[in-house]
A and B are shown apart, each in its own frame.
Chain A
Amino acid sequence: MKVEYVNPFVNSVKDLFSTMLKCDVKRGDLSLKREPGRPNEMLALIGLSGGDVQVRGTVALSLPVQTAVAMSNRLLGTQATEASEAVADSVAEMLNIMAGGAKAKLPHADRNPIQLSLPTVLRDHGSGFSVQHPRDTAWLEIPFTSDLGPFSLRVTLEFNCAQK
């Protein structure tokens, strides 16, 4: 994926952290992965489609439960100690903001805005789950560290997809 498509996601995460989470965040080294999330982590997914660049793809936010709880507490001013509906809602909204901020900065975004789906959050209630994407899907992982804990964005995007 070109750097002009990566930087919007990095900058969008930094915007969220500086305005609403009020703490520092640092990007780690990029890598390619086969899965949207890391084992035993909370996972949120949001779809992107359309626009002048005819994009189609998914953005995933993968984070340890402790990071999700810490971020939710920072957003809401609460002191929760475990995952809850409010924490899941916080994760969904943070991914919505990260993806929304990024899509507006992708090339040619202003001419014909890219559509965002509604975010989905997957929580493991003990019985486990697996997420399967089409074979050969490659996810670009953008890992981050922050004062609230580590997390990663994984992005799989195709451009210039013909409208069907």
Chain B
Amino acid sequence: MKALVVDDSAVMRKIVIAALSQAGVTEVGEAANGQEGVNAALQGGYSVITLDWNMPTMSGIDALRAIRAGGVRTPVIMVTTEAEKDRVIEALKAGASNYVVKPFKPEVIAAKVRDALAKATP
């Protein structure tokens, strides 16, 4: 199973990747800003995408909208410090499948990935 991890922090990408391995992810693509994330997502091949919010070049919420506008239906899990209720609602309305607030325990990421994949399976 292949995941795309989008976060401007290389450290956070490593932490998320380690957590994803608990959910059975065996291959990972990485992107360091929203635009790179959109470019990679539109190329396809991912079972799940994790997406930070505050990034240079393009924010995660704008990247999410661009990914959905491009017709990509891959589950997207926001992984972000933005914890306010309005932010969560905004992300879900923009097409996020789930939402994880930093700081998180690795098992939370794994559980949300498994849940998103179960819901996405036809």
Q: Which residues from chain A sit less than 8 Å from chain B, CB to CB?
A: 15-16, 19-20, 72, 75-77, 86, 89-90, 92-93, 96-97, 99-101, 104, 109-113, 116, 118
How far is it, in angstroms, between the C-alpha of A101 and the C-alpha of B80 when the chains are bound?
10
Q: In the assembled complex, which residues on chain A have CB atoms less than 8 Å from the CB atom of B56? A: 118
Would you call the interface of chain B mostly helix, strand, loop, or mixed? loop
**Is B84 within 8 A of A110, CB to CB?**
yes
Which chain B residues numbered 12 to 46 have a C-beta less than 8 Å away from chain A? Answer: 12, 14-15, 18
Q: Give B87's nearest chain A residue, CB to CB.
A: A113
How far is it, in angstroms, between the C-alpha of A15 and the C-alpha of B83 when the chains are bound?
13
Which chain B residues numbered 46 to 105 have a C-beta less than 8 Å away from chain A? Answer: 54-56, 80-87, 101-105
Q: Give B55's nearest chain A residue, CB to CB.
A: A118
**Is A89 within 8 A of B84, CB to CB?**
no
User: Contact check: which of A20, A90, A93, A111 meets B104 at CB < 8 Å?
Assistant: A20
**Is B86 within 8 A of A93, CB to CB?**
no
**Is B11 within 8 A of A96, CB to CB?**
no
**Is A89 within 8 A of B11, CB to CB?**
yes
**Is B83 within 8 A of A104, CB to CB?**
yes
How far is it, in angstroms, between the C-alpha of A19 and the C-alpha of B101 when the chains are bound?
11
Q: In the assembled complex, which residues on chain A have CB atoms less than 8 Å from the CB atom of B18? A: 77
Q: Give B102's nearest chain A residue, CB to CB.
A: A97
Q: Give A99's nearest chain B residue, CB to CB.
A: B81
Q: In the assembled complex, which residues on chain B have CB atoms less than 8 Å from the CB atom of A112? A: 86
Known: A96-B81, A97-B103, A118-B56. Is A76-B15 also a contact (CB below 8 A)?
yes
Q: In the assembled complex, which residues on chain B have CB atoms less than 8 Å from the CB atom of A19? A: 103-105
Q: Give A117's nearest chain B residue, CB to CB.
A: B54
**Is B83 within 8 A of A101, CB to CB?**
yes
**Is B11 within 8 A of A116, CB to CB?**
no
Q: In the assembled complex, which residues on chain B have CB atoms less than 8 Å from the CB atom of A76? A: 11, 14-15
How far is it, in angstroms, between the C-alpha of A35 and the C-alpha of B39 when the chains are bound?
42
How far is it, in angstroms, between the C-alpha of A97 and the C-alpha of B80 when the chains are bound?
9
